[in-house]
Amino acid sequence: MTTTRRIRSSAVAAAVVMAGVAACSAPGGSGDGKGGAGGAADSVVIGVGSEPDTLSPLLGYGKDGNSKIFDGLLARDADLKLTPALAVALPEVTEDGLTYTYTLRDGVEFSDGEPLTAEDVVFTYRTVLDEKTNNTARSELDAVEEVRASGDRKVVFTLKYPYAPFAGRTVLPVVPEHIAGEQDPNAGSFNTEPVGTGPYVLSAWSKGEKLTFKANPRYWGGAPKVRTFTMAVIADDNVRATRLRSGDLDGAVLPPNLAATFKKDGSRKTYDAKSYDFRTVTLPSAGEVTGDRAIRQALDAVVDREAMVDKVLDGAGRPAYGPLPVDDPWFARGIERDPDLGRAQRILDAAGWKAGEDGVRAKGGERAAFTLLHPSGDKVRQDLALAYASDAKKAGIAVTVESATWEVIEPRMKDDAVLAGFGSTGDPDFGLYTLLHSSLAGDGFNNMARYRDATVDKALDTGRRSSDTATRQDAYTTLQRALVKNPGYTFLTHIDHLYVLADRWDGPTTQLEPHEHGFASGPWWNIEDWQPKK
């Protein structure tokens, strides 16, 4: 689940049925540990937990980079450093920070043979910024005043205000105007039949089952050695592990307990990717219980984050004291906190939440009880939800854990708490604004808790509009401290992303990852650069 809904399972409700179908339809393996393609180095089959809703960047697909179908003006390398992609170099920036100029590479073609031009870039950004386009990440480009072409090879962005991390937004994939411009961006065939400049083209998509990609012979970066790869959509963690073990898959994203079962497998390699991805409980502000600040403060005080990392994640993660990880340079030192049941009880007592005969507190006839939803098939979220409910019970708050598909969760999340996941790399603005700003309350998966806090809004606006590092640091420190005083979410853990992959290639590695993982991230983020082992 993401703020733009582009990576969420569309088949969780049919996990058992889907597992059987996918097992039959994906390329078969020999069962000898050589992988789903029978050991062929030029074909790869990967098991992932979810699929995109759309493959159109106009609706948010690939906005943070690593799309294999498309390229942005810039890309990120293994260390997340911005590097040229469709642009020949990093942008030229005026001294006032308001104008960014990019020069395009010569000779780049879309997979249909048409040349890339500056007008394609202009069309892409203007369409994303158009309010008629259903792109819930539009606020990420709020700084853009105008984008225009200067000849066929130059693109000029004019900003409303100096936006320090703007270059990082230009990893947005570029689409062909001659195709996408003839369609409704919200409902056109481009959403499922994309054409781009990237190293691969989509050759088949069976919704809820698999996506197959083949090498793009027109790719400007050179022909990939991996000629085809398939993303098998398998919502259930256990089924993915079973299919990997049987040789039906070359690789898969797995939770810690299942990834650990492959550690002694000499034919496969385990990859541990650090991430900004955190798990949190959304606490809807409109709820009689979850909207009470004392309840939210008590939950924040009583939760045992270290225990969750140790017992649920098997150590593959870190406690989350807010949306930024503790080793991030923007993290506000001093907000770390241990579980404190006594403090939680004092907060509730002072607010008038009194314990009843059944141990559950109540105030004004309202029991301190609410439902916590988590997505079906996600064992880590299920276990975190159960641990959260157990901690809450100690303070006299009854949390009922319920499993559901995202199709069921989405219409209920304005009223019910959700065990959610978020997190973005690159700059604090990239993840925090959509999570917390009141202007985005209830906007799809943006600000799911419908959180509103004037201090937080001011800090977000300052951080976004200032180019001075010290000013921005102060703003984000203020924001993190305000979240402790007035939590709209209970932040639980930052998680490591674990992958298991057949050890048949040179080149797989990992990046510091955002919330999205498995489909666009993982050791296959740079699959176009892999070489078969000699």
Domain boundaries, the chain: 12-51+207-273+499-532, 57-191, 278-495
What are 375's strand-pairing partners?
A: 404
Round to whole Å and give the CA distance between 414 and 60. 22
Q: Return phi, psi of residue 88, to 5°.
A: -80, -20
Q: What is the CATH number of domain 278-495?
A: 3.10.105.10
Residues 336-350 as b or e (16 or more Cβ within 10 Å = b): eeebeeebbbebbee
Round to whole Å and give the CA distance between 300 and 519. 32
Among residues 77, 188, 203, the alpha carbon closest in space to that of 127 is found at: 188
Locate the DSSP E strands across 274-368: 278-282, 317-319, 354-355, 361-363, 366-367
> Which distant-in-sequence residues (6+ apart) come within 8 Å of 123 by Cβ?
175, 177, 180, 181
Q: What is the CATH number of domain 12-51+207-273+499-532?
A: 3.40.190.10
What torsion do the CA atoms of 132, 86, 171, 134 make, to the nearest 10 degrees?
10
pLDDT digit string (tens) for the chain, length 534 residues: 333 333 333 333 333 333 333 333 333 333 333 445 445 779 999 999 989 999 999 999 999 888 999 999 999 999 899 999 999 999 999 999 999 999 999 999 999 999 999 999 999 999 999 999 999 889 899 999 999 999 999 999 999 999 999 999 999 999 999 999 999 999 999 999 999 999 999 999 999 999 999 999 999 999 899 999 999 999 899 999 999 999 999 999 999 999 999 999 999 999 999 999 999 999 999 999 999 999 999 999 999 999 999 999 999 999 999 999 999 999 999 999 999 999 999 999 999 999 999 999 999 999 999 999 999 988 899 999 999 999 999 999 999 999 999 999 999 999 999 999 999 988 999 999 999 999 999 888 999 999 999 999 999 999 999 989 999 999 999 999 999 999 999 999 999 999 999 999 999 999 998 887 777 889 999 999 999 998
Q: Tokens in use for 426?
A: 């690159």
- SS3 label, residue 384: helix
- What class is the 57-191 domain? alpha beta
